[in-house]
Amino acid sequence: MKRSTLFVLAATVVAFSAPASAQFAKAEDAIKYRKNALFVMQQNFSRVAAMAAGKAPFDAKVAADSAAVAEFVGKLPWAAFGEGTDKGDTRAKPEIWKESAKFKEYADKMQAEMSKLSAAAKTGSLDNIKTAVSATGGTCKSCHDDFRKD
């Protein structure tokens, strides 16, 4: 086989067998990526949660914008939990990879509640926001309880 043919074959194998995590050059990049995405999500979520708790003045526009950012950014971390990203600067528990169906269920639930929060914030009703913040916060907590080392 010609070398150029071999190269094309090898490149094709790499391209099509690549898991979602392969978008990262190094495991540490994946870890940094998911932590940063979760941080940006948390900052936006907690801004809305502070309004819901009466710890910050309610600003409907800020709440709606923040919830929309949290909703979008909350979709990003999950592709960065690929194989080989369990070790390093991370509090991720090994259970994430052992009970991956359960982990995905939690991640999906969080995203569903975050979407509801974003929809609630668009209504401009603080009462709607309070209900959704509570449901969303519950999904953050249950995943941390089961899948994050403290």
Residues near ligand ASC, by CB under 6 A: 42, 45-46, 49, 137, 140-141, 144
Smallest gap from Cβ 50 to ligand ASC, in A, equals: 9
Closer CB to ligand ASC, residue 98 or residue 141? 141
Closer CB to ligand ASC, residue 27 or residue 49? 49
Closest CA to 111 of 143, 81, 145, 65: 143
Closer CB to ligand ASC, residue 109 or residue 144? 144
CB-based contact 123:64 (threshold 8 Å): no
Smallest gap from Cβ 17 to ligand ASC, in A, equals: 35
Smallest gap from Cβ 119 to ligand ASC, in A, equals: 19
Q: Which residues contact 52 (CB under 8 A, 6 or more apart)?
A: 126, 129, 130, 133, 134
Largest Cα–Cα separation, the chain? 70
CB-based contact 108:75 (threshold 8 Å): no
Smallest gap from Cβ 18 to ligand ASC, in A, equals: 31
